[in-house]
Amino acid sequence: MDIKQTAVAGTMESSDVMVTVKPASEPGLSIHIQSNVLTTFGDQIRAAVEAVFADFGIRDAEVFLNDKGAIDCVIRARVSAAICRATGEGYNWKGEDK
């Protein structure tokens, strides 16, 4: 699965996160986080983003998060939605049944 275009998911509301996924300009996953809880939860936010990309099997992308205090499940959902939009592929809902 490849990132074909720039795509966005999420909002700037409190407890949400706005995720932008772009095709990578260089190999690898480059994650940029803006967050009001960066000092206390930055590592956990980064880990959540990396886990979603690993699940999708995507190695190369540029990701921007404008986080307003989203919890992990929200971050995973927004990143997944942004990836689906950026790859143009539908979400594998059957995976949820496992």
Partner 1 sequence: MIINAVGRELPEKIGNYTVRPFMGIGQAKDDLPVVVSKRRPTLRPASGTKLLPTLEDAIKACGLQDGMTISFHHCFREGDMVIGQVLTAIRNLGIKDLRFAPSAVVNIKNPSVTEFVKDGTITRIEASGIRGELGDAVIDGLMENPVILRPHGSRPRAIESGDLMIDVAFLGASAADEYGNATGQIGPNACGSMGYAFVDAHNAGKVVIVTDNLVDYPCAPISISQQYVDYVVKVDQAGDPAKIGAGAARMTKNPRDLMIAQRAADAIAASRMFKEGFSFQTGAGAISIACTNFLSERMEQAGITASFALGGIPAAIIDMYKKGQVRVVACSQSFDAVAAKAIVECPGVIEIDNAVYSNPYSKGCMLDKLNFGVLGALEIDTDFNINILTGSSGEMMGGLGGGPDVADGADISIVTLPVVRGRTPSIVPKVFTCCTPGTSVAMVVTEAGIALNPKHKYYEELKEDLTAANLKLVTIEELCELARSIVGTPKPIECTDKVVAVVEYRDGTVIDVIRQIKR
Residues making contact with partner 1 (CB under 8 A): 14-15, 36-44, 68-72
Task: Give how far the C-alpha of residue 34 lies from the chain's centroid of Cα atoms, to the nearest Å.
Answer: 13
- Smallest gap from Cβ 29 to partner 1, in A, equals 21
Which of 25, 40 has the CB closer to partner 1? 40
The percent of the chain in helix, strand and coil, each rounded to the nearest 5, is: 40, 25, 35
Task: Provide the minimum distance between the beta carbon of 15 and partner 1 in the complex, in angstroms, as a whole number.
Answer: 5
CB of 70 to partner 1, least distance (A): 7
Give the nearer residue to partner 1 in terms of CB position, either 68 or 85: 68
Query: Which CB sits closer to partner 1, 42 or 88?
Result: 42
What gap in Å lies between CA 61 and CA 2, rounded to an integer? 9
CA–CA dist 94, 35 (Å, integer): 32
In the bound state with partner 1, the residue whose beta carbon lies nearer, of 62 and 67, is: 67
Beta strand 7-9 pairing with 61-67 = unpaired
